[in-house]
Structure 1
Amino acid sequence: MFCRRLAARIACALAILISPPLVLTSHAQTLTMRAALSRALAASPRLTAAERDVGIATGQRIQAGALLNPELSYEQDNSFGSGIYRGTKSAETTLQISQAFELFGKRDARIAAGQAGIEVAAIQRKAVRLEVLSETAIAFLSVLGAQRRIQILDEQIAAIDRLTPLLRRRVEAGASSPAETGRAEVASALVKADRERFKATLASARRELAVLMGDRAAKFGEVSGRLDTTGRPPTFQSVVAAIDANPQLVRWTAVFAQRNAELLMARLKPYPDVRIAAGWRHFNETNDDAARLTVSVPIPVFDQNQGNILSAQESLAKTGAEREANRNTLIVIAGRAYDSLQGSLRELAVLRETAIPKATEASEAISQGYGQGRFTLLEVLDAQASVTQARLREQEALQNFHAGVATIEGLVGNPFALARESAR
């Protein structure tokens, strides 16, 4: 239930990426973020391994609570010797059952350690789920971003191709050199080369997403979603505060309880247990019977378990440092993601407020002037390339922004509370 709720919440937090219902085609179906997250959770071997760890810990907890088995023994004395002890005439036979009783709360300490082990494994499973969701969201964004970049390059190629009829008329009229036709072809070819490079990037991104969803190769069509909506993130201090709820850190509370129980077990081990035995003894020589009672207690003279006690003490003391190191690592990761998305927002502001509008305006004016003979083909191509590069930079910044959001959501375990801005 946790993973389903979290998948839904992350999908809602990335609402800009959620498209209409799946569209079926004759070959493959469009993939949405929600479907990708659901399939990744169902197929993740890491999550399966984490669930098995819970089962392992459960088995250890059951075993920790098991009582010691009784022992049944048979003894025969004074037989098969010499003289009066020849044969079994003078034999003494004893049938005895004995039971060891653990004292001083040893069994309770074992049970406590086993129960803490279950909690550690269960919390770690939640942490793995968060990681799977975050990784899948980022992989989905990579595919979506690559698709959009290819679309932008296709639009630039189409724009260059639309110049061909006008260019031919200018050449025929003697207004342009025939060499400009070759220049346009070169410009188109270079953009096509860039498109092929992005296609290779898209293929790798699709494969990575497919593997996360349990497939060896991509069996889906395009991914569906939008990247063009952003929002203002909360302060980094609030992100750091939320990180303390990350299962990776919550887990250390259970680890501390487990190691504390292990230390108690080590301290209790030198305390002796009691073994009580009761038996029946038969004397063949007189054909008499008698009861036999035995109580035994080990004397902890030589081995007082000092080494294991010291080891358990150090392991317990180590817990705090391990948690702090883990927290520092998460803060560093969150800081990188936060700085990346903040930088992406500033980059988007420059691109959307100045670079893209000005480049588009200049390209349209130069394209119109080219038809009137006021600009050269080189100026037209340069203006179109400027628009394309600005739009590609915008898509890269958008992808980096949403990847940062997905990374932080995977760390805090909750959707990022963004003050949404309208799409451009």
Structure 2
Amino acid sequence: MLFRVAILAVSLSVYPFGDDADARSGSTLTLRDALHRALASNPRLTAAERDVGIATGRRIQSGAIANPELSVDVDNVAGSGAYRGGRSVETLLQISQLIELPSKRAARIGAASAGLDSAAWQRQVTRLEILSETAIAYFSVLGAQRRIEIFDEHVATLDRLTPLLQRRVDAGAASIAEIARGQVAADLIRADRERAKAQLSNARRDLAILMGTSTPQFARVAGRLAVTGSPPSFKSVLQAIDANPQLIRWSAVRVQREQELIASRLKAVPDARVGVGWKHERATGDNAVRVGLSVALPVWDQNRGDIFAAEQNLEKAHAEQAINKALLISTAGRAYDTVTGALREIALLRDSAIPNARRAAEAIESGYTQGRFTLLELLDAVSSVAQASLREQEAQQQFHVGIATIEGLVGDPFVLSRAGRR
């Protein structure tokens, strides 16, 4: 179920990426391939697997029974009188076994088994986190790529205006300073593009690290940032959060701490040690069988401190689960608000701001050739188109990051309504 995290589901059902051969060749990386690589190579998941192995070892050891003890006692080895020369040596060979209360071993096994379950759920938590973080990093790279494309389009538009400015200067309709002013505007956009390239480089490195490499092994990522859809209601998101492995894990943690409390209480009950031995007296040549039984008297130490600590630890588990759930709900709420806000922003930009900015830029460019608008008005109109496109790119990226965050929290994919898709 966890491998079918929604980021992967979205990549299969919504995003028409390039084929996997391109991703494997290192030229183009798809979301699907990024998730596969992260699951295969991320060291955090390897560490989580080792934690499961550690818990498995503890579970195996918890069922072990105490080893028997073999002892040899030799009395009267030396002395005076009748004990001189070892004539009165007494040899005792004894084997003893600790008889542990069955309930103690059962509690120990129960705690270790619950610890193994907890580690297994934590591995699923780590798996979901890696998938979600990889998807977020992927869309960060995709957004940075789109941002550079917008800057390139803006620079191309300004470069296209240069001949127009030159013709107006040649015709005496404008000052030569306008050419320099246009060049300054283009250079500032180029500077912004260089900054965006640095941000892209950082985003690519972050994605590569999540996939287990220190440097990117891909040229670019493939995807359609413009594809969006409507998420389900926030109520359904809250209901789905209950299936998050982080919360399910707390059931195992509570069981583990309950068993630890039982073990602490039973520790105050003494175990018996029984022994049987063979005794030989050299002086008489006689042999005898010896039987022993010992039980500790819980007079001074009744393990009250450990019992109290175990009780508090169990109560703490309930509080920690409540804190964890509140944090998940808060994170999901922020991500959901980001998604819905981004959708409203995208709709406004697509339906009004961007079309109007383009129409205004076209009209002002046409009017500029006729002397009806100034260069500043033209540059402002062209800049408005670029700024609106950049705002759209930011909103699209926020949408996909929010979706990836929510799906990482609910632990299962949800289907986006594609009615609003462009």
TM-score between the two structures when normalised by the length of structure 2: 0.96
- Identity percentage of aligned residues: 58
Per-residue deviation, 1:23: 5.9
Q: Is the 8 A contact 1:153 1:192 kept in 2?
A: yes
Match of 2:10 in 1: 13
Match of 2:107 in 1: 109
Match of 2:194 in 1: 196
Match of 1:71 in 2: 69
Q: 1:26 to 1:65 in 2, by over 3 A?
A: closer
Q: Is the 8 A contact 1:160 1:188 kept in 2?
A: yes
Correspondent of 1:162 among 135, 141, 160: 160
Deviation readout 1:353-404 (Å, 9 max, x if unpaired): 1101111111122223333443333322221111110010000000001100
For residues 40 and 157 of structure 2, the distance between their equivalents in structure 1, rounded to whole angstroms, comes to: 44
For residues 17 and 329 of structure 1, the distance between their equivalents in structure 2, rounded to whole angstroms, comes to: 31
Per-residue deviation, 1:237: 1.7
Q: Is the 8 A contact 1:22 1:29 kept in 2?
A: no
Match of 1:309 in 2: 307
Q: Is the 8 A contact 1:13 1:416 kept in 2?
A: no
Match of 1:206 in 2: 204
Correspondent of 2:148 among 147, 150, 156: 150
Q: Is the 8 A contact 2:23 2:218 kept in 1?
A: no
Match of 2:238 in 1: 240
SS state at 1:96 partner = strand
Q: Is the 8 A contact 1:153 1:388 kept in 2?
A: yes
RMSD over aligned CA atoms reads 1.8
Match of 1:219 in 2: 217
216-225 or 112-121: bigger deviation: 216-225
For residues 113 and 36 of structure 2, the distance between their equivalents in structure 1, rounded to whole angstroms, comes to: 30
Which one-letter code corresponds to 1:10 in the other structure? Answer: I
Which one-letter code corresponds to 1:233 in the other structure? Answer: P
For residues 24 and 345 of structure 1, the distance between their equivalents in structure 2, rounded to whole angstroms, comes to: 31
- The equivalences for 1:7-406 within 5 A come to 7=5, 9-14=6-11, 15-17=13-15, 19-22=17-20, 24=22, 28-406=26-404
Deviation readout 1:106-128 (Å, 9 max, x if unpaired): 11110000000000100011001
For residues 188 and 104 of structure 1, the distance between their equivalents in structure 2, rounded to whole angstroms, comes to: 82
SS state at 2:85 partner = coil
Per-residue deviation, 1:190: 1.2
Q: 1:46 to 1:401 in 2, by over 3 A?
A: same
SS state at 1:261 partner = helix
Identify unmatched segments of 5+ residues in structure 2: none
SS state at 2:18 partner = coil
Per-residue deviation, 1:27: 8.8
SS state at 2:27 partner = coil
For residues 168 and 407 of structure 1, the distance between their equivalents in structure 2, rounded to whole angstroms, comes to: 51
Q: Is the 8 A contact 1:134 1:407 kept in 2?
A: yes
Q: 1:377 to 1:23 in 2, by over 3 A?
A: farther
Which one-letter code corresponds to 2:255 in the other structure? Answer: A
Q: 1:186 to 1:412 in 2, by over 3 A?
A: same
Which one-letter code corresponds to 1:328 in the other structure? Answer: A
Deviation readout 1:126-147 (Å, 9 max, x if unpaired): 0011111111111111111010
For residues 295 and 383 of structure 1, the distance between their equivalents in structure 2, rounded to whole angstroms, comes to: 98
TM-score between the two structures when normalised by the length of structure 1: 0.95
For residues 179 and 82 of structure 1, the distance between their equivalents in structure 2, rounded to whole angstroms, comes to: 123
Identify unmatched segments of 5+ residues in structure 1: none
Which one-letter code corresponds to 2:335 in the other structure? Answer: A
For residues 344 and 147 of structure 1, the distance between their equivalents in structure 2, rounded to whole angstroms, comes to: 19
Q: Is the 8 A contact 1:340 1:400 kept in 2?
A: yes
Q: Is the 8 A contact 2:272 2:294 kept in 1?
A: yes
SS state at 1:67 partner = coil
Q: Is the 8 A contact 2:229 2:421 kept in 1?
A: no
Per-residue deviation, 1:17: 4.3
